[in-house]
């Protein structure tokens, strides 16, 4: 009886040891899986960080007309690489404990992929000869997308994965910080416009021709189909297929300005026709004319409000002479 009792006790001890051994192996395997996931995710984040550094180095660099194509090709390369990063993130071996962190990681990287894709789509217009303003606005809009990715990463992914590591008592793993947009100033359309101008001309706000000195522009004489427009006086203008505004822009500063935008709004409210023209460059003290074609036909036989605005150049403080409103009666 005593021997049987001893044998049973010994068997229980062996069984318990076996259970503890199996559990220890499973715990160790789970810890290794979490460590491997954290290492792999961190590697992808570092690649994304590198893309951010390269993109904003490009935008802050001084380019020139001969480098426009290279800049577009570089950003297209970022688009392809960011899509590959997302695909690799989806293929990660994700432990159950890290499933929530994985969801936030994918959201972060997908926002960055989508933002880079849209920057690549907008950049040809921003760097081209037409629709520059629309192109720059397209690039600016993606800065909000990049900021959203940073918020998800810092506010969701990092706390989630760090919580998993703490719960498993895993030490020695550092999740890298990640801010795709380096400074909040990139949310400012003027900042992006200056950067794009620098890439396109080599004379952006960081160039020698855009630093220091007085910056200012002003609206001069405005004509429509050869008829001079004057504030407070209704002008009669006959519609034609090639009717166009001629807007004089004066550089009232002592610095050469580039990409000076002229806006013309025909009418008011939702039915207004918005037109745009751009001066590539204008020297200090110079006056140049910008042709703006009337692409749509406004209503006839009634007073139509015409607002012409020269958009402020970077560094311009006084803007009260940049805009004027006229009245025109269109006839057939």
Q: CATH class for domain 213-331?
A: mainly beta
Mean pLDDT throughout 138-150? 95
The pLDDT, as a whole number, for residue 22 is: 44
Q: What is the tens place of the pLDDT at every residue in 66-122? A: 778 888 899 999 999 999 999 999 999 999 899 999 999 999 999 999 999 999 999
Q: What is the tens place of the pLDDT at every residue in 197-215? A: 888 877 654 444 444 567 8
According to DSSP, the residues that pair with 274 across neighbouring strands are: 265
Give the pLDDT band of residue 5 (cuts 50, 70, 90).
low
Query: Over 70: is that where the pLDDT of 223 sits?
Result: yes
Q: What's the pTM value of the predicted model, to 2 decimals?
A: 0.61
Give the pLDDT band of residue 20 (cuts 50, 70, 90).
very low
The pLDDT, as a whole number, for residue 12 is: 56
Q: Among residues 51, 49, 42, 54, which one has the least CA distance to residue 89?
A: 42
Query: Over 90: is that where the pLDDT of 332 sits?
Result: no
141 is written with which tokens?
């809009």
């Amino acid at each position: 009886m005593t021997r049987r009792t001893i044998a049973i006790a010994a068997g229980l001890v062996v069984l318990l040891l076996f259970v503890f051994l199996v559990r220890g192996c499973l715990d160790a395997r789970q810890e290794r899986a979490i460590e491997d996931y954290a290492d792999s995710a961190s590697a992808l984040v570092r690649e994304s960080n590198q893309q951010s550094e390269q993109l904003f180095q490009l935008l802050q660099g001084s380019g020139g007309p001969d480098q426009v194509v290279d800049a577009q090709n570089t950003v297209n390369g970022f688009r392809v690489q960011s899509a590959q990063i997302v695909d690799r993130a989806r293929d990660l071996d994700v432990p159950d404990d890290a499933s929530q962190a994985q969801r936030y990681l994918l959201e972060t990287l997908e926002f960055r992929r989508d933002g880079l894709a849209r920057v690549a789509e907008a950049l040809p217009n921003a760097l081209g000869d037409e629709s520059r303003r629309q192109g720059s606005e397209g690039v600016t809009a993606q800065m909000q997308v990049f900021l959203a990715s940073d918020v998800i990463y810092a506010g969701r992914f990092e706390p989630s994965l760090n919580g998993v590591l703490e719960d498993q008592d895993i030490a020695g793993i550092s999740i890298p910080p990640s801010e795709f947009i380096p400074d909040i100033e990139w949310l400012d359309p003027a900042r992006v416009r200056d950067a794009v101008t620098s890439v396109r001309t080599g004379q952006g706000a960081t160039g020698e021709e855009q630093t220091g000195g007085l910056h200012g522009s002003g609206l001069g004489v405005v004509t429509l189909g050869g008829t001079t427009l004057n504030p407070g006086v209704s002008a009669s203008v006959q519609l034609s297929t090639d009717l166009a505004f001629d807007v004089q822009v004066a550089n009232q500063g002592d610095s050469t300005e580039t990409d000076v935008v002229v806006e013309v709004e025909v009418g008011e409210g939702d039915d207004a026709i918005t037109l745009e023209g751009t001066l590539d460059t204008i020297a200090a003290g110079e006056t140049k004319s910008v042709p703006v074609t009337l692409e749509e036909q406004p209503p006839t036989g009634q007073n139509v409000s015409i607002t012409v605005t020269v958009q402020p150049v970077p560094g311009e403080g006084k803007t009260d002479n940049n805009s004027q409103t006229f009245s025109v009666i269109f006839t057939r």
